[in-house]
């Protein structure tokens, strides 16, 4: 099973950027934890980050064919990235939107995600562990685990 993990603008600055809001882990640290966690659950993670909406779209469109699911933190594109939204709406694998911070507890303009209506679900405000929650959920669902 393969999961693509995409991060948008400014998430390359994690670890330096507003640590009280985003925590002190860098993106490479979070990605390494995700790869380890996924391996334990029998999945493989491919990571990508870009500050450019076009590059994100190009990467996702070129690589989604081999993937079973997508986890994406679109950064500020969540609030206005309509081209990204249209690209994601075309994707058939399940998508989970992740935010480190709680976008509903911050500035008003952050409380609206244009991505949210076309994804399976959203995890917001759980810090770096939100990415692990998304991974666990996707893998469990893709494996058809019913816990009966």
| Residue 103 sits in the site that holds ligand DQA (CB under 6 A) | yes
**Closest Cα to residue 106, out of 27, 20, 48?**
20
Active site residue 80: no
Under the binding rule (CB under 6 A), the answer on residue 120 touching ligand DQA is: no
Min dist. Cβ of residue 100 to ligand DQA (A): 4
Rounded Cα distance, 53 and 68, in Å: 22
Active site residue 22: yes
Q: Which of 87, 100, 115, 119 binds ligand DQA (CB under 6 A)?
A: 100
Query: What is the Cα–Cα distance from 51 to 15, expressed in whole angstroms?
Result: 16
71 near 96, Cβ under 8 Å? yes
The single residue among 1, 2, 10, 94 that binds ligand DQA, judged by CB under 6 A, is 10
- Find the binder of ligand DQA among 101, 128, 134, 139 (CB under 6 A): 101
Q: Is 73 in the site for ligand DQA (CB under 6 A)?
A: yes
**Which x/- pattern over 11-50 shows residues binding ligand DQA (rule: CB under 6 A)?**
----------------------------------------
Contacts (Cβ under 8 Å, ≥6 apart) of 104: 110, 111, 124, 125
Closest alpha carbon to 78 in 61, 99, 56: 99
State yes or no: residue 99 binds ligand DQA (CB under 6 A): yes
Residue with tokens 């991505």: 115
Helix H or strand E encompassing 7: strand 2-7
Q: Which residues bind ligand DQA (CB under 6 A)?
A: 10, 73, 75-76, 78, 99-101, 103, 110
């Amino acid at each position: 099973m393969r999961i693509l993990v995409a991060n948008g603008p400014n998430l390359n600055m994690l670890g330096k950027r507003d640590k009280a809001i985003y925590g002190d882990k860098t993106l490479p640290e979070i990605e390494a934890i995700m790869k380890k966690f996924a391996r334990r659950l029998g999945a493989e993670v491919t990571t990508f980050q870009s500050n450019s909406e076009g590059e994100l779209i190009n990467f996702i469109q070129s690589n989604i064919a081999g993937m079973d699911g997508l986890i994406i933190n679109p950064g500020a594109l969540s609030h206005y990235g309509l081209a990204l939204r249209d690209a994601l709406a075309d994707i058939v694998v399940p998508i989970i939107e992740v935010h480190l911070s709680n976008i509903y507890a911050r500035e008003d303009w952050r409380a609206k995600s244009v991505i949210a209506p076309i994804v399976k679900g959203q995890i917001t405000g759980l810090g770096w562990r939100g990415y692990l929650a998304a991974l666990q959920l996707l893998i469990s669902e893709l494996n058809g685990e019913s816990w009966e």
